[in-house]
């Protein structure tokens, strides 16, 4: 057997080696909430969730846990080979790629592969599992569309043996996708057994943050810094949009937070999104005698009370 | 490398029958009916001729994952889904 990296399942779950079944279950619940890819904001949530799931799978099962405990305590990541007398047969559904090499060597893995099937169905003929992956795309790619080459881990039968293989798959992502949307790639999940169809591959699109655009559905929001005179006098300014810069006429007498709509300048679709521009008035500093004099002149000649609505309050 | 393969964007313009949705999500019709009754997805058309958008596929898959992996009931999973979507919206800087 080839060497694999040792995994300390107790350390992964943050429990003592003599933790009770209840303690292990509580630790799992807490970690699942933290790292579940659907709810987590952690960066490596999916990898951590798998790692925690694998640790729980071993530690929750008294038979597997006892076998694991026999190995003794070793540093995480240490080169590991199962002892020569290691001969455990475990029942249960195996899914290739779900477990670490360490787990596969100890508890079956490829050798014990029974060919998948949907969880809990237990039939010899069954459709392959669906697989899920996340694809990060920039806002620019969402606007123009893009192509991605994915590397998929496959398991292939060769001379009666199951062998891992990497398959490259080119996938076109159309223009106008939104955050969280999925792309279904039919029959590119795991193969079925007994002549049944393969599962599907689902790609969940994650829109990466943009330095100045925010996105809501297909609408794009932009905070636009403007000078007091541009806002007061109403001038035309150049504004970035996903398709390039456009001229925007600021209405005379605009205040900060005024929203202006650039119709159908958001992400493409049916209907296309809009771009909303939110004016943010930026006040010049009063550095230097000349500027200070100008401000004092404004205070004299353009006296105003912006807090009039609060008068009479406490 | 070969040409890009055929993919289906699961947006609001594509529609699936109840049977299609069940096949894609790997679930029984009864569960989809419960999910509809919980108000997680809103099918188009009359009962018996329901049609679901691609967006519904994603929501059904997510609510089932939440329900199974956190061992909560459907109402709890639906609440979690809505709160998650709200958080995602706020994090994107939406208003």
Q: Which domain holds residue B19?
A: 15-91
Is B2 part of any domain?
A: no
Residues of B with CB below 8 A from A170's CB? 1-5
Q: Measured between CB atoms, which of B3, B13, B57 is closest to A182?
A: B57
pLDDT for the residue numbered A191: 82
pLDDT for the residue numbered A33: 86
Complex ipTM value: 0.79
Is the distance from CB of A137 to CB of A207 less than 8 angstroms? yes
pLDDT tens for each residue of B22-66:
988 989 999 999 999 999 999 999 888 999 999 999 999 999 999
Q: Which residues pair with A261 in a beta bridge?
A: A276
Is B68 part of any domain?
A: yes
Residues of B with CB below 8 A from A204's CB? 58
d(C-alpha A110, C-alpha A97), whole Å: 9
Which letter does DSSP use for residue A33 in this model? H
State the alpha helices, DSSP H only, in A194-279.
Answer: 228-233
Residues with Cβ within 8 Å of B63's Cβ and at least 6 positions away in sequence, in order, are B35, B40, B74, B77, B78, B81
Q: Of A163, A183, A207, which residue constitutes the final position of a domain?
A: A207
Is A119 part of any domain?
A: no
Mutate which of A56, A128, A180, A266 to disrupt the B interface (most B C-beta within 10 Å)?
A180
User: What SS3 class is residue A282?
Assistant: coil
Is B38 part of any domain?
A: yes
Asked if B61's CB is within 8 angstroms of A202's CB, the reply is yes
Asked if A39's CB is within 8 angstroms of B80's CB, the reply is yes
Total count of domains within chain A:
3
d(C-alpha B42, C-alpha B50), whole Å: 9
Report the chain B residue with the minimal C-alpha distance to residue A149: B4
Do A255 and A177 share a structural domain? no
Closest by CA position to A215, among listed B92, B85, B87? B92
Residues of A with CB below 8 A from B10's CB? 181-184
pLDDT for the residue numbered A168: 87
Half-sphere exposure of B59 (CA within 13 A, CB side): 24
CATH number reported for the structural domain that contains residue A179 in this entry: 2.60.260.20
Is B30 part of any domain?
A: yes
Q: Cβ of A206: how many Cβ atoms within 10 Å?
A: 12
Per-residue pLDDT for chain A (314 aa), expressed as one digit of tens each? Answer: 567 888 899 999 999 999 999 999 999 989 988 888 888 877 788 888 889 999 999 999 998 899 888 888 777 777 887 777 776 665 555 555 578 878 877 886 443 343 333 344 444 677 888 888 889 999 999 999 999 998 887 777 677 777 778 888 899 999 989 998 999 998 888 888 888 888 899 999 999 999 999 998 899 999 999 999 999 999 999 999 999 999 999 999 999 999 999 999 999 988 899 999 999 999 999 999 999 999 999 999 998 999 988 987 66
Q: How far is B66 from chain A (nearest CA, A)?
A: 8
Mutate which of B11, B80, B86 to disrupt the A interface (most A C-beta within 10 Å)?
B11
Residues of A with CB below 8 A from B55's CB? 181
Element (H, E) at A224: strand A219-226
Asked if B5's CB is within 8 angstroms of A216's CB, the reply is no
Asked if B69's CB is within 8 angstroms of A36's CB, the reply is yes
Query: Does B47 touch chain A if contact means CB atoms closer than 8 Å?
Result: no
Is A19 part of any domain?
A: yes
pLDDT for the residue numbered A88: 64
Do A65 and A84 share a structural domain? yes
Q: Measured between CB atoms, which of B2, B8, B26 is closest to A184?
A: B8
Element (H, E) at A146: strand A146-158
User: What SS3 class is residue B28?
Assistant: coil
Q: Quickly tell me which residue has 């008035």 as its tokens.
A: A281
Residues of B with CB below 8 A from A216's CB? 89, 92-95
Is B5 part of any domain?
A: no
CATH number reported for the structural domain that contains residue A95 in this entry: 1.10.287.110
Query: Does B57 touch chain A if contact means CB atoms closer than 8 Å?
Result: yes
Asked if B1's CB is within 8 angstroms of A168's CB, the reply is yes
d(C-alpha A274, C-alpha A216), whole Å: 10
Element (H, E) at A69: helix A62-70
Q: How far is CA B57 from CA A154, B13, B64, in A?
A: 25, 12, 11
Is the distance from CB of A148 to CB of A173 less than 8 angstroms? yes
Q: How far is CA A161 from CA A3, A100, A136, A244, in A?
A: 20, 19, 35, 55
Q: Which domain holds residue A269?
A: 213-301
Is A311 part of any domain?
A: no
Do A297 and A234 share a structural domain? yes
Task: Give pTM, 2 decimals.
Answer: 0.72
Q: Measured between CB atoms, which of B2, B11, B61 is closest to A170?
A: B2
Is B84 part of any domain?
A: yes
Asked if A179's CB is within 8 angstroms of B95's CB, the reply is no
pLDDT for the residue numbered A11: 93
CATH number reported for the structural domain that contains residue B53 in this entry: 1.10.1660.10
């Amino acid at each position: 057997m080839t060497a694999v990296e040792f995994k300390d399942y107790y350390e992964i779950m943050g429990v003592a080696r003599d933790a009770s079944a209840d303690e292990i279950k509580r630790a799992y619940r807490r970690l699942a909430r933290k790292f579940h890819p659907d709810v987590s904001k952690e960066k490596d949530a999916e990898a951590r969730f798998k790692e925690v799931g694998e640790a729980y799978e071993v530690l929750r099962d008294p038979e597997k846990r006892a076998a694991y405990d026999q190995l003794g305590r070793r540093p995480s990541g240490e080169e590991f080979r199962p002892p020569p007398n290691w001969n455990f047969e475990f029942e249960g559904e195996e899914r290739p790629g779900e477990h670490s090499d360490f787990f596969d060597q100890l508890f079956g893995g490829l050798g014990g592969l029974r060919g998948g099937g949907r969880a809990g169905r237990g039939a010899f003929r069954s459709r392959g599992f669906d697989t899920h992956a996340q694809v990060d795309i920039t806002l620019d790619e969402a606007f123009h569309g893009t192509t991605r080459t994915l590397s998929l881990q496959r398991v292939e039968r060769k001379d009666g043996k199951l062998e891992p293989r990497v398959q490259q798959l080119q996938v076109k992502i159309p223009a106008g996708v939104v955050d969280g949307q999925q792309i279904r790639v039919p029959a590119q999940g795991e193969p079925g057994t007994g002549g049944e169809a393969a599962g599907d591959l689902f790609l969940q699109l994650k829109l990466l943050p943009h330095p100045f655009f925010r996105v809501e559905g297909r609408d794009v929001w932009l905070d636009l810094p403007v000078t007091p005179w541009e806002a007061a006098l109403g001038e035309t300014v150049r504004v970035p949009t996903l398709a390039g810069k456009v001229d925007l006429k600021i209405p005379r007498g605009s205040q900060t937070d005024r929203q202006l709509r650039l119709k159908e300048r958001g992400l493409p679709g049916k209907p296309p999104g809009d771009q909303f521009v939110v004016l943010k008035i930026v006040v010049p500093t009063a550095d230097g005698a000349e500027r200070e004099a100008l401000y004092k002149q404004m205070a004299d000649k353009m006296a105003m009370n912006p807090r009039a609505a609060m008068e009479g309050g406490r | 490398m070969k040409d890009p393969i055929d993919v289906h964007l699961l947006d609001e313009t594509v529609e699936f029958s109840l049977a299609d949705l069940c096949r894609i999500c790997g679930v029984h019709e009864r569960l989809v009916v419960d999910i509809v009754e919980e108000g997680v997805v809103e099918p188009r058309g009359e009962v018996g001729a329901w049609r679901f958008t691609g967006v519904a596929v994603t929501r059904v898959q997510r609510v089932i994952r939440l329900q199974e992996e956190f061992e909560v009931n459907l109402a709890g999973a639906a609440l979690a889904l809505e709160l998650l979507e709200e958080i995602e919206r706020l994090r994107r800087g939406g208003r």
